[in-house]
Amino acid sequence: MHELYLAMCVEQNLPEIYKIKKCTYNKEFVTEFNLSFGYPKSDTCATCDAGNSNEEHVLNYHAAIEAMATDRNKPKEDIGLLYLTVDLQQTMPLPKILTSKAFYLRQIWFYNLGIHVVDQTKQKAVCCTWTEDVADRGSVEVASSLLRFVEVDQSCRNKHHLVIWSDSCAGQNKNFNIQSCTNT
Ligand SMILES: [Zn+2]
């Protein structure tokens, strides 16, 4: 951006005083404007990334966001309903050390199924964690974690309905094992 700014100064024949250093440009940009920089997005939509988005696609996207928000508010009206969002987090290597040698050595993978729980009065996060020597990270493990959560977590007591939102990963969330687990 600083380079583009300098190019613009040359293009518009602005006086030398306008040709500021990068650090000054950065300072002005950060302190005088309500703008910020973010990291590149992850887990983006393949259709939108390919530039194939159309009106129907955008409508479906907004409908899904709206349906999620509606479900999230349901526990406020119904004490017997529990709302969950679940996602298997990116795998983490253990131990977490920055030494370059460690990058090339075999490290054990640590898995975490994050469950975000919303009931009538509160929200909380539950982590179901295990390492690769204990179990894999497929649909069976995700189903087991969910089942265990339902069996032991206090927030599941006296509930007649469970609303679960997840991404549509076929190997982990969107399959027969999860269907069987959530129907029992
Ligand atoms: Zn999209």
19 and 73 both lie in a single domain: no
Considering its fold, how many domains does the chain have in total?
2
pLDDT tens series, the chain, 184 aa: 889 999 999 999 989 888 899 999 888 888 888 777 778 887 788 888 999 989 999 999 999 999 999 999 999 999 999 999 999 998 998 888 888 887 788 889 999 999 999 999 899 999 999 999 999 999 999 999 999 999 999 999 999 999 999 988 888 888 888 887 666 5
Establish if 60 belongs to a structural domain. Answer: no
171 and 100 both lie in a single domain: yes
User: What's the gap in Å between 71 CA and the centre of ligand 1?
Assistant: 21
User: What's the gap in Å between 168 CA and the centre of ligand 1?
Assistant: 14
88 and 176 both lie in a single domain: yes
User: What's the gap in Å between 48 CA and the centre of ligand 1?
Assistant: 4
In sequence order, what are the residues at sequence separation of 6 or more whose Cβ sits closer than 8 angstroms to the Cβ of residue 148?
Answer: 128
Helix, strand, coil shares of the chain, percent, nearest 5, are 45, 20, 35
Establish if 55 belongs to a structural domain. Answer: no
In 132-177, which ranges are E strands?
A: 161-165
User: What's the gap in Å between 113 CA and the centre of ligand 1?
Assistant: 25
Domain around 9: 2-32
